[in-house]
Amino acid sequence: MSQARQPLLEALRAAHVRLGLAAVIAAGVVLTMVSFLTLRTYVEQNLTLVARSIAYSAEAATVFNDSAAATEIVTLIARQEGLLSASIVRRGGAPLASYVRDRAAPVDATFARVGTLFFPLQATAPITNQGAECGQVTVQGNGGVYLMFLLKVVAAVAVCMAVIAWWVSRLSLRIESDIVSPLNSLASLTRTARTERALGLRAPPAVVQEIHTLGEDFNALLAEIQAREAELVAKHDSLMTANESLSFLAFHDSLTGLPNRASFLQHASRALFASRGRASKVAILFVDSDNFKSVNDRLGHAAGDDVLIETARRIRALLRESDVVARLGGDEFAVLLAPIRGTDDATRIAAEIAAALRVSVTSAKFGSIESSASIGVAVFPGHGATVEALLLAADAAMYRAKTQQPGTYWMFDPVLDGQTITGLA
């Protein structure tokens, strides 16, 4: 069972989100605690200052036991500072003045009660005259005010956390753009290059140095593979060309470009096999130059080569695409006519070839060269059942033509040419 693997983007996002949330929560907790402790210290100090302010302002009223003046001072300052209550007690415990805030709305009362759980809302301050204590001031702060302030601080921290969370998400997108997307592109390119052999693809530049270096290395590897594959293809093409050249040379004559004896035997064997049991026939013509040896002796082998090349060209020009002319060796040529309807087709082509070869060969170097060829004709199946038998029959008929009337053709005659075949065999 294959193990499920987590995508890189999902893994990075999960790690980034966990790290971001931990950082945001830690920052929120720290900011909230610092704000709370700071506010708590401020509340304590503020209440102490308010108590001292009342003690300073009501000093004279306390010394002279003026309850009305003391009450006026306490009420004025208490209302300005939003206190719940404030009182002045003379030395000995006798009350001099007091203030109690009017009954607040239920919500304010609830906030005030909750505020008492978080903040020290009571402070005292002595009233002194000439260094002697003559009374004491006690104040009770409004916890709802401080709780609302704390909630505002918490809300501000929450906004900051939201901004940080948004920034973390932006960083996650940046990670996707700079890291994950280039890696996905590189993986896709690798898969395409492997499955489709698209070695011309290249990885684009990346923002991250390590990914860019990886892409450059991959591009270099692709270029090297592409170069080696091109080299292999070139070598393969060269070998194919060499093999084709060798194959051509193995079955063709290098001078005339015609098929050689081996190739002719193959074509003739296939033609005989294809015609067995059919009404069509196959003919083989044996062509031999009449004065080739004298041309070589008088003008040299180059002139003889010109005669052979021109002979091959003239014969080929008179044949169909399905017919084959081959150079058997020296000045001997063989023609395969397949299929034909009867001997008349064979004799007609033989007559045309003989007439064409009686025309002098014009050589650029040697001028006009007299030339002719004798032709023997043998037809399958009447003159032989195999290629070798037909070649012997056509050769015998050619020999008779050469000895009796050079430059013409003769059809094989078993009676006249049979002794010649026995001699050749």
- Gap between the Cα atoms of 74 and 98, Å rounded: 7
Nearest to 271 by CA among 339, 213, 319, 200: 339
Tokens representing residue 237 in the block: 């093409």
Residue 203: strand pairing partners: none
Beta strands in 301-418 (DSSP E): 324-329, 332-340, 361-363, 367-369, 373-380, 409-411
306 is catalytic: no
- Gap between the Cα atoms of 178 and 377, Å rounded: 85
Nearest to 360 by CA among 406, 410, 314: 314
Candidate list 288, 306, 331, 417, residue with the active-site label = 331
H helix runs in 300-364, sequence order: 301-317, 343-357
Cis peptide before 120 (omega within 30 of 0): no
- Confirm if 88 and 98 have CB atoms less than 8 A apart: yes
Kindly tell me the sign of the dihedral angle through the C-alpha atoms of 186, 187, 192, 195.
positive
Q: What share of the chain is helix, strand, coil (3-state, %, to 5)?
A: 60, 15, 20
**Which residues are catalytically annotated?**
331
